[in-house]
Structure 1
Amino acid sequence: MTKMKVLAVDDNRTNLHILQIFLKKLGHDVILAENGEEAVRKFETELPDLVLLDIMMPVMDGFEAARRIKAMTRDRWTPVIFLSALNRDENLVEGLDAGADDYLTKPINFVVLEAKLRSMQRSLAMQQAAIDSLRRVQAISDNVLDAIVTTDEQGIIVSVNDSTERIFGWSSSELIGQSIGMLMPPDTREGHAERVAAYCREDRASRVVGQEREVVAAHKDGHYFPATIAISQVVLDSQRMLIGVVRDITERKQTERQLRDNARQLQNYYDQTQTEQQLALRLMEKQLHRVGLQDPRLRYRVIPAEHFSGDIVAAARSTDGRFYVLLADATGHGLAAAISVLPVLALFYRMTKRNRSVQEIVSELNQQLKESMPVGRFVAVTLASLDEASRRGEIWVGGTPEAFLLDARGRVTTTFPSTNLPLGIVSSTELGGAPQAFTWDAESQLVLCSDGLLEATNPGAEQFGKIGLIAAVADTSPRERFERILTALETHQKNCPASDDVSLMLIDCA
């Protein structure tokens, strides 16, 4: 057992000396006082664990001293044992009424006194353990960021933690003993006590216990703030206590509002962008799908990697019956690439209507792009014209993959390599490169494509390539050839998304 600090009080110095020797032999620290007034003064300064108090003393008797000592020990129990020669029942009753915890008559039986001291020691040890436990709980509670408010069944605040003071602005001394309604707005406060009582009477607390809900809380300075509250209940000494854990969610609500505002702005921006893109798409469609593309000798397909394609195809007949085809691929893909090739279309249709040569058209397209395109932007082009009457044609390839002339059985008879720079990089005088002339036999076809088709990959990162294209058309009839290419491409990709725009043109030469 731990030693105690004992205050021994007796006006008889011999008795005090005997008590001192006895207590020290038991291992306790001893404080001596010779009257009640001295005992009260030393109790206040020394804070002993236990008091052995004589009753009949000068200046202040033991009864008065016991009452004053007990008045000073509200937060902590300090046992008081009367030692007195008065042994009548009324003396015992008066001593207990004065606040004594035990009574021992003189002459002192030290065996009994030792037993009583051990009993008090055990009680004090349990009290200290309870105090230590309470302090730990209080320390944990005070370091919780949420407010913890405990009330009785009538809604009167019994205890609060430090965060309650920070969140609500009231000190603990201002809160304890007051109605919990002071932490609520007036419209919520009214009738709260009756609701709490009704819950407790009808055992309806289970409807709110353990459930977190949002409420509006009131600060000391008068402003209201959003909060969440979770209520639990305990029963102490047959009395039900309600424990509310309150969290200030002002910042969370502000964040939620900001997120909602951002989401609304993003949605508005998205809607506006979609509207603008739809308008741009309709304008692009109108520019791209000209009558010339409906020529029965032409089949084509453009597959954009995004909403807009940087690849374009065009076809037109001149006034003397010459058939022109164009496949262009601008830098990048998407709307920016699509806009880059629009000037190409306008010039192509204007110049083909005038029956201009491939060389003239290429030169004019290059000059226009060189003057209008920013540095680093260019357009790869394959441009061909076919004179059906003479079965003669010419083709210019700059930056796009090589073009192929196929015979009736799908074999490559002529390859037109990409020997020229794309348009828009250098001036027309520096561009150089004359178109390549060619002739064809019956049922010959001309194949043009963009690099997006040849570079299309499968799940193993293998490209479709020139080999895939030639394999797809080998030993096929002119009528089925176009679909065979598209089917072979789809089979090769196996649902892999295209990383670039894909365009394909197949022209019947005869």
Structure 2
Amino acid sequence: MKSMKVLAVDDNRTNLHILQVFLKKLGHEVVLAENGEEAVKRFEADHPDLILLDIMMPVMDGFEAARRIKAMNQERWTPIIFLSALNRDENLVEGLDAGADDYLTKPINFIVLEAKLRSMQRSLAMQQASIDSLRRVQTISDNVLDAIVTTDDHGAIVSTNLSAERIFGWSAHDMAGRQVAMLLPSDSPIGEGSIFGLRENDSCGALGQEREIEALRKDGSRFHATVSLSQVVLDGQRMHIAVIRDISERKAAEQKLQENAEQLQAYYEHTQSEQQLAMRLMEKQLHRTGLKDSCLHYSVIPAENFSGDIVAAARSPEGRFYALLADATGHGLTAAISVLPVLALFYRMTKLNRSVREIILELNQQLRESMPIGRFVAATLVCLDEVLHRGEIWVGGTPETFLVNEDGTVARTFVSNYLPLGILDNKELDAAPETFFWLNNSQLILCSDGLLEAENCAGQQFGVAGLIAAATASSPTDRFEKIQDALTTHLGDNLASDDVSLMIIDCP
């Protein structure tokens, strides 16, 4: 068993010497004092485990010394054994009332004293074990991030951990004994008369359930928290343990997320509104009456809401038929905006019965002036003189155009010999078209690269082979639908990755 530090107090030096020898023989450390006043000072300085205290001494007697020592030592029990020649009952009672834990009369029976020391030593060992256990529990409690507040059945705070001090700003001393309502705003619906909302007559179903509350710091600031309650019964008294978590940061994050969501929703709605307006404007530009010409069949399937592919058709006052298939860089709204200048110029110049060369040069100049670097428009422009069975075509950057006979066989292929519009200056651009003639019931097939590059699940492109195969397996009246059906069958469940445009022009 662990040795003790013993404070021996006696005004007789011989008695002190005997006690010192006896205690050291038992393996204990000894501190000596010759009167009560000196004993109090030694107790403060050396913190002994046990005190052997004489009663009749000068300066300060043992009774007064015991009272002062007991008043000083509130947290830890230090046993006091009185040693005195006074053996009357009233002396024993007075000693015990002064705070003594045992009484031994002189002359000292050292066998009895040794037994009493062993008994006290066991009690002190049990006390130390309890203190160590309490410290471990307190250490765990203090290192928990949540506040732990223990109250009695009337809502008075009994104990708190360090996190409670940190979260609420009050010291443990300031909170001890006060009503738990001090940690809640005065207008809180769960303030007075309850322990975080749990009243004495409440059902135990509320225990263990985490609820959100508004809590109050020492500086008067409010914050969001969660609280969960549990109950224990100690020495017949019911105690409430509240675990309180500061969720201010979580609430702030939720609020920020909510604000961001509202901003995103507002941005989305604003963007949708703008896109709808842009679509109406684009539709007005795209859907001109010339596209309803009986000799024209076309479709434009955008990869997004807006298409960078456009088709246009018009007849001049002199009866010449013009058709345009253009494909701007990229797809979506940016690509769609890029081709708007092309549309306006196309319709204006076809009304003036301008040649293919003049139209191409005008389109190129406009795009050079309005498009940023890196943006351009691939285009196929066709002009038909139906009286002479004579046509002109210019292909720049788009896939080849096919002139097919009635049975779908290719009579002539017009490949892209020129760069897209908007890249070269007009002085460098070759705008001379190719001239061609056709037989009765011939057709021109124009398309964008999105149609030829459309991939199926196996990664195979529709390609020129797919286009020509569908054309030869059809007649002029159903050729457009057959090509569309063949593309749909080829794609299966896949979606085309680019805008898809197809135009078939009947050559009367």
Q: Do these two structures clear the TM 0.5 threshold for a shared fold by scoring above it?
A: yes
Matched residue, 2:258:
260
After superposition, residues 97-246 of structure 1 pair within 5 angstroms as 97-188=97-188, 192-196=191-195, 199=198, 201-202=200-201, 204-207=203-206, 209-246=207-244
Residue 194 of structure 2 aligns to a residue whose secondary structure is helix
Q: 2:452 aligns with which of 448, 454, 457?
A: 454
Checking the alignment, whether the CA contact within 8 Å between 1:304 and 1:501 is kept in structure 2 is: yes
| CA deviation string 1:157-202 (max 9, x = no partner) | 222333434433333332222222222222238x844334995642
Greater shift, 112-121 or 299-308, is seen at 112-121
Are 1:95 and 2:92 counterparts?
no
| CA deviation string 1:289-326 (max 9, x = no partner) | 11221223322111112111111001122334332211
Distance 2:115 2:477 in 1: 117
Q: 1:274 aligns with which of 267, 272, 275?
A: 272
391 and 181 in structure 1: CA distance in 2 versus 1, 3 angstrom threshold: same
Distance 2:80 2:192 in 1: 41
358 and 197 in structure 1: CA distance in 2 versus 1, 3 angstrom threshold: closer
Checking the alignment, whether the CA contact within 8 Å between 1:11 and 1:35 is kept in structure 2 is: yes
Greater shift, 74-83 or 160-169, is seen at 160-169
416 and 246 in structure 1: CA distance in 2 versus 1, 3 angstrom threshold: same
Checking the alignment, whether the CA contact within 8 Å between 1:482 and 1:506 is kept in structure 2 is: yes
Matched residue, 1:314:
312
Checking the alignment, whether the CA contact within 8 Å between 1:147 and 1:247 is kept in structure 2 is: yes
254 and 364 in structure 1: CA distance in 2 versus 1, 3 angstrom threshold: same
Greater shift, 194-203 or 1-10, is seen at 194-203
Greater shift, 319-328 or 337-346, is seen at 319-328
Checking the alignment, whether the CA contact within 8 Å between 2:225 and 2:247 is kept in structure 1 is: yes
229 and 274 in structure 1: CA distance in 2 versus 1, 3 angstrom threshold: same
Checking the alignment, whether the CA contact within 8 Å between 2:325 and 2:446 is kept in structure 1 is: yes
Residue 41 of structure 1 aligns to a residue whose secondary structure is helix
Matched residue, 2:9:
9
115 and 461 in structure 1: CA distance in 2 versus 1, 3 angstrom threshold: farther
Checking the alignment, whether the CA contact within 8 Å between 2:180 and 2:195 is kept in structure 1 is: no
After superposition, residues 367-378 of structure 1 pair within 5 angstroms as 367-378=365-376
After superposition, residues 351-430 of structure 1 pair within 5 angstroms as 351-430=349-428
Residue 430 of structure 1 aligns to a residue whose secondary structure is coil
How far did 1:331 drift?
Answer: 1.4
Distance 2:179 2:372 in 1: 75
Q: What amino acid does structure 2 have at the position aligned with 1:437?
A: T
Checking the alignment, whether the CA contact within 8 Å between 1:154 and 1:193 is kept in structure 2 is: no
Checking the alignment, whether the CA contact within 8 Å between 2:193 and 2:199 is kept in structure 1 is: no
How far did 1:279 drift?
Answer: 1.1
Checking the alignment, whether the CA contact within 8 Å between 1:154 and 1:197 is kept in structure 2 is: no
Are 1:492 and 2:490 counterparts?
yes
Residue 244 of structure 1 aligns to a residue whose secondary structure is strand
Identity %: 70
Q: CA RMSD in A?
A: 2.7
| CA deviation string 1:41-72 (max 9, x = no partner) | 21121110111223344443333322222111
Residue 492 of structure 1 aligns to a residue whose secondary structure is helix
How far did 1:85 drift?
Answer: 4.6
Residue 324 of structure 2 aligns to a residue whose secondary structure is strand
Distance 2:27 2:466 in 1: 102
278 and 192 in structure 1: CA distance in 2 versus 1, 3 angstrom threshold: closer
Q: What amino acid does structure 2 have at the position aligned with 1:194?
A: G
Greater shift, 305-314 or 481-490, is seen at 481-490
How far did 1:89 drift?
Answer: 4.8
Distance 1:192 1:12 in 2: 63
| CA deviation string 1:342-396 (max 9, x = no partner) | 1211222222233332222222222222222222221110111223333322211
Q: What amino acid does structure 2 have at the position aligned with 1:430?
A: E
196 and 258 in structure 1: CA distance in 2 versus 1, 3 angstrom threshold: closer
455 and 122 in structure 1: CA distance in 2 versus 1, 3 angstrom threshold: farther
Greater shift, 26-35 or 304-313, is seen at 26-35
How far did 1:21 drift?
Answer: 2.1
91 and 347 in structure 1: CA distance in 2 versus 1, 3 angstrom threshold: same
Checking the alignment, whether the CA contact within 8 Å between 1:419 and 1:433 is kept in structure 2 is: no
Q: What amino acid does structure 2 have at the position aligned with 1:202?
A: N
How far did 1:418 drift?
Answer: 0.4
Distance 1:198 1:315 in 2: 77
Distance 1:487 1:115 in 2: 109
Q: What amino acid does structure 2 have at the position aligned with 1:500?
A: D
TM-score normalized with structure 1 length:
0.91
How far did 1:13 drift?
Answer: 3.4
Q: What amino acid does structure 1 have at the position aligned with 2:33?
A: A
Matched residue, 1:22:
22
How many residues are paired up?
Answer: 508
How far did 1:330 drift?
Answer: 1.0
Distance 2:87 2:469 in 1: 124
How far did 1:268 drift?
Answer: 2.1
After superposition, residues 296-307 of structure 1 pair within 5 angstroms as 296-307=294-305
135 and 424 in structure 1: CA distance in 2 versus 1, 3 angstrom threshold: same
Distance 1:480 1:112 in 2: 124
Which structure 2 segments of 5+ residues have no match?
none
Greater shift, 387-396 or 415-424, is seen at 387-396
Residue 187 of structure 2 aligns to a residue whose secondary structure is helix
